[in-house]
């Protein structure tokens, strides 16, 4: 089981600088286009899938940021959105629309949410179910959601007119101090005795050790000779310091990203949330408003140090590959369609329970109809970036890194959020909020995802990967 196998963080092994001649022919060089658009909902819009107070003010704007990577194959699109989640048909729509905009295939587009809770959560499949019950618009602002997708696609298409040549790839990592901690506090019996949420006021729970985390923020950068063009960072945690008070915010990760924007101008900064499903700031955060800036400063300091320790290597189209594996995630047996339907259509039920029922039903039906989730891996030389769905537990990220101890492995989770939390097999037997209440996958999901990750990383001569 992952939780018992990966109980510590191995030191990062950074690839040495490449000795290859960097005088590549121009037709072998990479090109990228970066894009950005506003993703801020209007005042009055539902937030967090309609589960918290609607927006009554804009504390700071939200954005969708991405890049298009062009090699000698079809374009690759990576996009990060300041929303709590993008689920089911909404995730399909993001990928399909971006693919059309840049002239590539859907399987070469990866879209992720950063999971800020004072932000929209969008699920077109669940939204249709709610509309049939007279609850249209209760989960998210439908017109705004579609407009944002179209705006992002327009920005991506326009960016292709401003392609920039890439000659070098940079990579670095640094420890983030006093931010991440594991939310699941185990008792002597190995069961979860308490959940240390992202905001925790209990001094005894805050005194508990950090637990299993990945304390490192990783950075990948694209360069045209000595000029940086784009920087991508990855860090595993729930990003919110507090939420549910009506103020739309990009929260800690957005503030940290903004600091890097200011410190390294004229460079596009994209941030991706790693496998932070069971990780939050609870050990270092009691929910006080001032802690948002404090946590953001700590993350920004880690990003800055990762930038300072960046190692650059020459890169060409031959160094780039995009691979995918399509998997069927096993459905949780406790989900019963008749029971979920009853809650969904119950006019006397609490709204949040009906909203949750719609999301449960949406995922159940997609799985039962044979829907598969695409897991992707971007390879650039010895660097690997894995793209996975759901609120993934950090053990998956640590396991992937240990598969290639001499490589540089990053992970972006929170792709399609339809499955909700994705724990390890042992975690489902331990109890706790994530695996007991809000996961839509069965305990053996680990036995589906880990072989897929191993295939994508091409570990131990595994079978060819779907392309």
- Give residue 130's pLDDT: 98
Q: What's the domain range around 374?
A: 28-461
Of 385, 291, 446, 405, nearest in space to 15 by CA: 405
Residue 29 pLDDT greater than 90, yes or no:
no
Q: Is residue 179 part of a domain?
A: yes
Classify 132 as helix, strand or coil.
Answer: coil
Number of continuous H segments (helices) and E segments (strands) in the chain: 13, 24
> Radius of gyration of the chain from Cα atoms?
21
Q: How far apart are CA 32 and CA 75, in angstroms?
A: 9
- The total domain count for the chain is 1
Classify residue 418: in a domain, yes or no: yes
Position 28 scores a pLDDT of 63
Within a domain: 194: yes
Report if residue 23 sits inside a domain: no
Pairing of strands 181-182, 168-175: unpaired
In a domain, 111, yes or no: yes
Residue 419 lies in a domain: yes
What is the chain's mean pLDDT, rounded?
Answer: 93
Q: What is the pLDDT of residues 140-170, one digit of tens each?
A: 999 999 999 999 999 999 999 999 999 999 9
In which band, very low, low, confident or very high, does the pLDDT at 25 lie, cut at 50, 70 and 90?
A: very low
pLDDT at residue 462 is higher than 70: no
State pLDDT tens for residues 226-278: 999 999 999 999 999 999 999 999 999 999 999 999 999 999 999 999 999 99
Q: Among positive and negative, which fits the CA dihedral 464, 386, 329, 193?
A: positive
Which has the closest alpha carbon to 323: 454, 162, 182?
A: 454
């Amino acid at each position: 089981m992952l939780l018992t196998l990966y109980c510590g963080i191995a030191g990062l092994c950074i690839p040495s600088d490449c000795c290859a001649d960097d005088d590549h022919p121009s037709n072998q060089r990479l090109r990228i286009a970066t894009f950005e658009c506003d993703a801020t909902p209007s005042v009055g819009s539902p937030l967090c899938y309609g589960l918290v107070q609607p927006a009554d003010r804009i504390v700071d704007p939200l954005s969708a940021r991405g890049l298009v990577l062009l090699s000698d194959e079809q374009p690759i699109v990576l996009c990060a959105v300041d929303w709590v989640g993008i689920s089911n048909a909404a995730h399909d729509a993001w990928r399909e629309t971006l693919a059309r905009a840049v002239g590539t295939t859907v399987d070469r587009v990866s879209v992720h949410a950063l999971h800020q809770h004072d932000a929209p959560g969008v699920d077109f499949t669940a939204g249709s179910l709610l509309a049939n019950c007279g609850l249209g618009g209760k989960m998210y602002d439908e017109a705004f959601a579609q407009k944002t997708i179209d705006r992002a696609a327009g920005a991506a298409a326009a960016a292709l007119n401003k392609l920039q040549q890439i000659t070098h790839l940079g990579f670095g990592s640094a420890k983030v101090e006093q931010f991440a901690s594991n939310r699941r506090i185990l008792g002597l019996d190995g069961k979860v005795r308490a959940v240390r949420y992202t905001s925790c006021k209990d001094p005894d729970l805050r005194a508990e050790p950090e637990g299993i985390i990945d304390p490192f923020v990783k950075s990948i950068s694209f360069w045209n000779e000595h000029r940086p063009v784009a920087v991508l960072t990855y860090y595993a945690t729930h990003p919110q310091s507090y939420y549910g008070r009506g103020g739309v915010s990009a929260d800690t990760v957005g503030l940290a990203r903004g600091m890097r924007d200011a410190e390294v101008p004229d460079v596009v900064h994209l941030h991706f949330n790693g496998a932070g499903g069971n990780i939050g700031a609870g050990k270092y955060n009691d929910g006080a408003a001032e802690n948002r800036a404090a946590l953001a400063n700590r993350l920004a300091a880690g990003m800055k140090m990762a930038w300072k320790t960046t190692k650059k290597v020459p890169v060409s189209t031959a160094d780039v590959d995009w691979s995918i594996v399509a998997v069927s995630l096993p459905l949780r047996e406790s989900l019963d369609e008749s029971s979920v339907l009853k809650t969904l259509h119950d006019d006397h039920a609490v709204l949040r329970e009906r909203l949750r029922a719609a999301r449960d039903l949406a995922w159940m039906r997609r799985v039962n109809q044979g829907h598969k989730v695409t897991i992707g891996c971007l390879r650039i030389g010895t660097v690997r970036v894995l793209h996975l769905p759901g609120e993934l537990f950090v053990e998956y990220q640590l396991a992937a890194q240990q598969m290639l101890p001499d490589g540089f492995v990053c992970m972006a989770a929170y792709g399609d959020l339809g499955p909700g939390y994705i724990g390890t097999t042992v975690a489902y037997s331990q109890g706790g909020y994530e695996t007991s209440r809000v996961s839509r996958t069965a305990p053996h999901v680990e036995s589906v995802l880990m072989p897929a990750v191993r295939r994508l990383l091409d570990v131990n001569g595994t079978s060819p990967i779907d392309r």
